Structure 1
Amino acid sequence: MFTTHHERNYLLPLVRKELDRWIAGPKGWDPGALRLNRWATIGDNVRALVLEHEGQDGSASVRVRIVEKKSDGQWVTQLTTHVPNARGRAAWAWIDIESPDPDGDNPRSRARRAGTPRFVAPILDVIDAWDGAARLTTRPVVIRGDEVDELYRALVDPDRRGVAFVAGNDDTLPFGPWVDLIAKLTQFTKGVASCYVLDGEATRLLNDRVGQAHAVLPGRLRTYRSQVQPDSDVDGLRHRVLSTERINDYSEHLRLARMLAAHAQLQALEQPLPTAVTRVHRMLERIADEILVNRLGDAGAKPAPPVSLAPPATAAEAQKSDRHPDEVTEQQSMLLDYLKIRLGLEILTVDRIDEIAEWVEIGGSSQEAQKDIAARLEQLQTELDETQTTHREVIRQLEDEQLENREAVKRLTRSEETVRVLRQQLASSGQADVAWTAQPAEEDVLRPDSFGELLRWLPKLKHVEFTGDPDPAADLDNNDILGAWASKTWDALLVLEDYATAKADGRWDRDVHGFLENTPDGCHEWPTRRHARDESEEVRNNRTYKRVRELPVPTSVHRNGKTFMGAHFKIAQFAMISPRMHYYDDTAQSGRIYVGYIGKHLPTGQTN
């Protein structure tokens, strides 16, 4: 979450007040244990650092970093607020939460979604928070006809970082319940996205401004990413639309809410922070590192003696006490004797005891500082590893996308040449009117623009049944911004439908791979290199890899309700995700094909 705020005098105290409430309330930690410019323990396995800095220009910065170690890994919550000195510049707050990485050994594991901290909503309810020209609120902002200019400015504002959810209306939808429904679907996006609900007039006026490619239709919810370009039809593909059918399906509401939250968080993570914010961040990180180093250096020096409320004992009194062991128990006397021997002391005075206590304090402080430095180094190493991994993945994804585009261009060129040749042949045979007027049916051209939509389309297929978990498929939408993977997966499903139909009609008697090699006329095609008859021997002989490919089928197919599905379609090549669709061909028995998995690449020796 990153938000700007124009009421400069209220931001710092308000944010800190709500943060302390959150620490003491839902979390049950001790806000009183927080120490300025020093790491402190505020709960079981919870460490926190508070930094305050006043710039020479009169600016003020505060950062609170909380590191919580839990059974599922380490959670880090960091809140940074900054008030610049210049009156014309807005104050800002930045909240960043790092959740543990998913279990890489489990192909079904999902990233742990960082929910909105409870201290965010009270802040958004009492201040005017902005993402560029877009408002950040806890409820959708209602836009009437005369307020469309405000929304249009928010959509095209280059400073907007987060997504803007916009719901359309045509005055036939009950407005109050419609607003409540949109609020429910966007409940997990508070602070990272803006949300607007239009009335009928506002919907018409906005669509006139942005054009058909960027329009939001009544009864639908559109996700506008940053940098909207109304004059570009191609840009409209970036801004996904949630259909009325899915919105009205109450069984999907929780799934949709999580999907919208994932889209909003991904957008927020992808966008770079403003340069001025990055400068403040680096400055605070440098101060935090200096604090750790200085603590370790201070621990090696002799600290000032502790302040005591009792009058100091004289050396004579101390020696007298040392000369009269009969005034203490025999055990205490033995311990004192051992202490003198261990430390090589002839006599034990108050001054020497104070010195020993100081040594103990120095040792404890040094160990604590070393632990904090080790934790900091571990954090920096983790960030470096993540950066290097991201860099490698970006390069690999770029190469994969270039290959995908190259293949798509080849297929498009081949299709265009095929159409040209067929038109020439039709024209030469006296059917020129057919050659230039024939168009495919609309249902043959339509493709789902998301995996959520694809799952709803599956009942259209008569011979193909999806038996798997829908969540891995839905998760692909987080990386399939334009819906290309969903479209290609639907093409693969149509191939299976045509294959099963051809076998039922007696037009085909071989397997799926043979069907792809010699596709009958009128059937959908798929490249053979994008299909695998079975998994490799390595996968089939590895118990772990084989088990995750034992996928659901009806008990009439297999009494255990599962069977190994080695055959699969390679939907796309995309780094470690590379979506796949696994299926079981049961056309010889039931006449059906069971798809048991749609999702990221299942584990192999290479992917692990």
Structure 2
Amino acid sequence: MTDVGEELSRKACSAAERDTQVWCAAMSGPTSKLEQTCSFFYALCQEGGWRMAIGYRAVLRLTRGQSAVAAAEEQVRTWLKGKVGKRPAQQARVDWDGPGHYAIGRGLELLVVHADHDEQTPRRLYRIIEANPSGRWIVSVYAGTLVSKRGGEQTIVVEVDLSGADREAALAKVAPPKIVRTLLDTYDASDGSVQLTGTPNVVRSAQIEDLLAAIADPNRTASVVVALSPARDLDDAWRKVVGSLTRQSVGVTAAYVVYHDAAEAFAEALPVSHRFHPGQIRTFLPDVEFDSPSDAIRHRWLALPTLTRSLQRGRVAEPLQRRHGEDARRRFVEAQLPADVQRMIELLRRSETGIERAARVQAIVAKARAVTPLPAQQPVATESASDIAQSAPEAPAASSPWRERITAMLRRWLGRDPALPKELDDLDTFIEAKVAEVQVATDQLAEAAGSVENLQAEVVRLRREREDMELEWAVALEARQNADRDNTVLRRRLAASRQPGDAYVEPDTEDWAAPSTVEELVRRLTAGDDEHHVTARVVFTGDDDGAIEIDRRYPSGVYATAFWLHVRVLHDYAEARLNGFNGGLHMYLGADAVAGTKCPPGQHAAKESQTVLNNTRWSAERVFSVPTTVREGATVLMEAHFKPTWRDTFAPRLYYYDDVAGTGKVYIGYIGRHLTNTQT
């Protein structure tokens, strides 16, 4: 797909504009469908790397009272003036008025697109195209007022593309454009409740709670980079180091420098699993789960020795800057945009497609006319269409400007000398066929667009599942290594105690073997001929729809094994309670002195988050059936649940209600896909 700036700069066809519009209308078919298809393929080319590859994207939500369009236009003008100022020998024009294409200078172009809904909801696209020895760079600034339940959301999206590069090359080479830093330094922008700034924020004792809230914010999409100062006299120098480290992720991360006098208090406020030490820099990804020790493995830290090796004159060298910033940029580039932001971008791209299509048609028409010029048009005062009709084909000497132009047109399109009126009928058939071809091609493009869109969605889903599997593998590997170490130490001690036979662990009996499917597990826990003796302590009270869905999605039976372990945990926990253990299930999982089946504590959650409980619809999803002997209304809110998998949009869960103190049993109300929360 040829870039509109390049197309327009090569072909200035303003004289053919009126004719072009007529031909566009004749050859395009339904404009809205063609625009939608072209817009989709434009977006697809960007995403897939056919035309260019996005190497940077930032979504900035401005606070109320600020105008995203005014802010974007002001900063684009300032940025371009700075670029033009470095090129004094060139004649350049930075001012523009309305949508269109503007040549700012040699190798520097600007495309302005408007897609306003009304005066209250303006939308703008400023696309800066710059060619230099290092490549062809496209910076796109989308700005608009987005309609939401809270009113007009002032939003700016900045993307940087590298023409001719694939995704990996773009991520490695692209850096945040200067306009992002100036926007953040000039206007108040946020991501959820997290403030985005161009330089790291200083955290002292009074700001510790604010930092903890930013890390735990369930609505943020940006990473939070926290650096603990190694010493009091290095506080200011440490801030400069962190500022240089995060230069490549400005706009997609929120950086905080905890000064030394607050570092210890901040570390103490974190769970043990998520703590780190002075001199370390930790990146907290979105969706932090402080109550899950396994969650800590997601949030990597940079140790002081690694950082020190990359320091040059008190600043981090560019290779480490790029490595540190690339992960954050990748998440934003590959993540799905919020629905309101996606809608704004689609509308602006659709308007841009109209401009691009008109420009390309102008260029094609102008080129064709240059090859086959029509006779010069002369003013005709008396001749009309009826005069032409009365002209006999056997009178070749009779000529007129109209006849000459029609003759040239028929010769151009049909390739033969005219013999009116048959050739006019043939020309009409020719045009009709071409219009039909365009319509068919448009329909086929729309069908192909739908197929490609589905494939793209599948690729995104598979990528997320791969990342989730890698994370689960890392958690499982860590648990396996710890378990192997414990087993080795315990066996050595048993051998030293002269009772080596105690090191032998007998296998499970056949009736305690894991079921092959989750549906079979549910049947074991449901009263009837197939019930297992585990139902003396654990009973399933829900429906089996969720279990069947899990088996269809994961036919290997991996979740049947995982959930059976949790059922055994519940059974042995209930037995321990009835035999004198005084504590909840989470305490039981950490009580080594209490015999019974255990699972990693990180797979269990005793409660739901306040975000879920405060949402009426979400909390209602967690109300499940129990016998009337447990609750008079036969339903109860079940907060406690097991989570055998880490995190994806399906992520099966098992919800239960502990009534050991009453009926002596635990009731499982739900086994199925992840219920609704901020992550789904």
User: Which has the bigger relative contact order, CA under 8 A and spacing at least 6?
Assistant: 2
Structure 1 length normalisation: TM-score? 0.50
Structure 2 length normalisation: TM-score? 0.45
